């Protein structure tokens, strides 16, 4: 399964599965519906190649900014973090800085995922965490940052150790095996390209975990 540029989650005011793109840079979207009144699509896709990439990115960014402004009172402490992240993302889109844009979109993913974790969902929070970490592997392998790559690899191991028993409990032996293989590959990986390929495999495996937990059926 080929993903091209990976999806990044984001608060949305409509159920559209489209992202937005700058060379392209998908906008973020969290994995579960969290604050009441905010409709969050669980499976965003890549932006249409027929629309303006920068225009699409700006449109999606405005949507996320509106959603952040309407966060309920109990989430106001996180509002400053989200607002700052979106401001940096907006500047990156203007500057056409791909790596910074991807990094900030993924930071938005992490924060909104942490918010979503406090709300009931059939999807364990660590599934969203692995998705975030998979994109982080892509970002840091593209920017060539071995220190950050090492940190993310350790986080993948820790997160998967927590999640693996839940996956097995759902009957996801094949899904667990796929991620086991990725973790083993990360332990042996050295070059940036090998990390990027393993990141893509991890994200493919996370897609299957989402299906497993949402439907209870192995695809």
Is the per-residue pLDDT at 50 higher than 90?
A: no
Mean pLDDT of the chain: 75
The CA radius of gyration of the chain, in Å to the nearest whole number, is 17
Tokens 């393993």 sit on residue: 198
Cα gap 184→190, rounded to integer Å = 12
Name the burial class of residue 165, with classes exposed (0-12), middle (13-18) and buried (19+) by CB atoms within 10 angstroms of its CB.
Answer: exposed
Q: Which residue has better confidence, 18 or 82?
A: 82
Structural domain spans, the chain: 1-121, 123-219
Is the per-residue pLDDT at 13 higher than 60?
A: no
How much of the chain, in percent, has pLDDT values that exceed 70? Answer: 72
Quick: pLDDT tens for 125-134. 999 999 999 9
Cα gap 111→69, rounded to integer Å = 15
The token duo for 16 is: 């559209």
Quick: pLDDT tens for 158-210. 999 999 999 999 999 999 999 999 999 999 998 899 999 999 999 999 999 99
pLDDT band at 4 (very low <50, low <70, confident <90, very high): very low
Is the per-residue pLDDT at 30 higher than 50?
A: no
Name residue 45's beta-bridge partners.
Answer: 18
In this structure, what are the phi and psi dihedrals at residue 168, rounded to the nearest 5 degrees?
-65, -35
Instruction: State pTM to two decimals.
Output: 0.70
Q: State the virtual CA torsion across 23, 133, 110, 145 in degrees, nearest 10.
A: -60
In this structure, what are the phi and psi dihedrals at residue 170, rounded to the nearest 5 degrees?
-90, 5
């Amino acid at each position: 399964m080929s993903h091209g540029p990976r999806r990044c989650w984001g608060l949305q005011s409509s159920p559209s599965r489209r992202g937005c793109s700058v060379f392209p840079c998908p906008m973020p979207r969290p994995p579960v519906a969290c604050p009441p009144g905010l409709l969050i699509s669980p499976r965003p896709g890549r932006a249409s190649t027929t629309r303006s990439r920068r225009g699409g990115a700006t449109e999606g960014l405005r949507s996320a900014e509106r959603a952040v402004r309407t966060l309920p009172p109990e989430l106001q402490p996180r509002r400053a973090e989200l607002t700052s992240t979106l401001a940096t993302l907006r500047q990156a889109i203007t500057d056409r800085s791909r790596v910074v844009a991807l990094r900030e979109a993924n930071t938005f993913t992490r924060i909104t995922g942490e918010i979503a974790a406090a709300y009931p969902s059939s999807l364990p929070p660590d599934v969203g965490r692995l998705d975030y970490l998979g994109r982080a592997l892509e970002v840091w392998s593209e920017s060539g940052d071995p220190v950050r790559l090492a940190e993310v690899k350790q986080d993948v191991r820790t997160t998967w150790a927590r999640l693996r028993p839940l996956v097995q409990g759902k009957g996801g032996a094949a899904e667990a095996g796929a991620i086991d293989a990725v973790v083993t590959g990360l332990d042996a990986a050295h070059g940036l390209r090998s990390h990027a390929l393993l990141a893509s495999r991890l994200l493919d495996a996370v897609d299957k975990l989402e299906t497993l937990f949402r439907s209870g059926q192995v695809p």
